[in-house]
Amino acid sequence: MVAKSAPTGRPDRVVVVPVANMFSAPNENSDVASQAIIGSNVVTLDVRRDWVRVRTDDRYVGWMSRNVLRDREKSGPYGTSGPVVRTEALFANVYQEPAVRVHKPVLTVPFESRLEVATGREERKVGWLRVRLPDQRAAWIRSGDGNRNPTPLTIPQSIELAKRFLGLPYLWGGRSSYGYDCSGFTQMLVRSRGITMPRDTRLQAEWEGAEEVDRKHVVPGDLLFFGPSPEQINHTALYIGEGEIIHSTAQNRPGVQIGRLNDPSRRRTLIACKRVT
């Protein structure tokens, strides 16, 4: 669900768990519409007892349990007033001290998690970064698991990034390295290039930030959209060249995998090819 008339507002809550589900209604029996990862700032739109209706930075709207959020109204959005590290590992362990053998990790956070870096001489240890988690706990991550100065990737670099996820499970509503759905995966790959794209497959296909190209002229980095008809687009993938696509799919062996664009089922259901501009 995308906010169409949600009020503009400053982010006032932050996700404090590795991955938080966003439900279509304020109960866990409703379907998972999307997810947000730790350190994500959200805007509160409504509150119903133990549930909060929120809007994420890509304007997606859903319901989250209050237990996965922390109020930031007084202190301001998390990770915006000082140095931040973004995790580059598919999964990064977070420890209570700079040692991997003393205690078990306090958290395992997914790829792209943004964590505040603690500053000061006492916060330094070779090979480690001290961070302040969104729930205000102090913790440590290995410096090799994060990047303090991430830069947008080129298309070839984003394709190499995509291949790092091969074999990860498909997850409906998934938007993290714990599991992606098809549009969550392509959204992440486009985001790696410094571009924010809508969340849903249909909205990605209609997005003004991409121009349509003829299927005969697709090049690596183009987005491909599939479905029974233009009105029923239900799948997306990234073209990586040499007739191959990479996507997170629920078919066959569900997960991130490489397929052939000329496979009969794909060739028959290809609706549109888009190039991000």
Position 6, amino acid: A
Active site residue 235: yes
Active site residue 273: no
Find out whether 268 and 252 touch, Cβ atoms under 8 Å: no
Distance CA 91, CA 105 (A): 12
Distance CA 238, CA 185 (A): 9
Active site residue 103: no
The active-site residue out of 103, 217, 235, 273 is 235
The active-site residue out of 103, 182, 217, 273 is 182
Q: Is the dihedral of CA 228, 230, 231, 232 positive or negative?
A: positive
What is the largest distance, in Å, between two alpha-carbon atoms of the chain?
A: 61
Distance CA 56, CA 268 (A): 35
How many Cα atoms are found within 13 Å in the side-chain-facing hemisphere of 215?
15
Distance CA 166, CA 203 (A): 25
Cα angle value 21/204/89 (rounded, 5°)? 50
Residues with a catalytic annotation lie at: 182, 235, 247
